[in-house]
Amino acid sequence: NVCDYLIELDHSLVQRALDGFSWPGRFEKFGKIYLDGAHNIDGIKALIKTLHDQQIKKALVIFSALGDKVFEQ
């Protein structure tokens, strides 16, 4: 692809970096509980996609937002 042409990347190095990547608060598992810090509509959409991709068919979601957030969506 264009990126490969413009930038020489060692794909195995990129894969190793991604394998060790962790983003605290993003779909972290604690026993039977998953914690996700989704705080806007895009984050909620990403959470729903992740639940679908992980084939989690049933989930209880507890959502909290500060007063200045548009949470009605």
Q: Which domain holds residue 43?
A: 24-73
Q: Nearest CA to 50 among 32, 36, 65? A: 36
Transcribe 34-65 into DSSP letters. EE----SHHHHHHHHHHHHHTT----------
Beta bridge partners of 33: 30
Count of structural domains within the chain: 1
Question: Cα 26 vs. chain centroid, distance in angstroms?
Answer: 5
Q: Per residue in 1-26, pLDDT tens?
A: 676 677 777 888 888 888 877 777 88
Domain-located, residue 54: yes
Q: Per residue in 34-62, pLDDT tens?
A: 888 888 888 889 999 999 999 998 888 88
Residues 6+ apart with CB under 8 A from 4: none
Domain-located, residue 18: no
Domain-located, residue 6: no
| pTM of the predicted protein model | 0.61
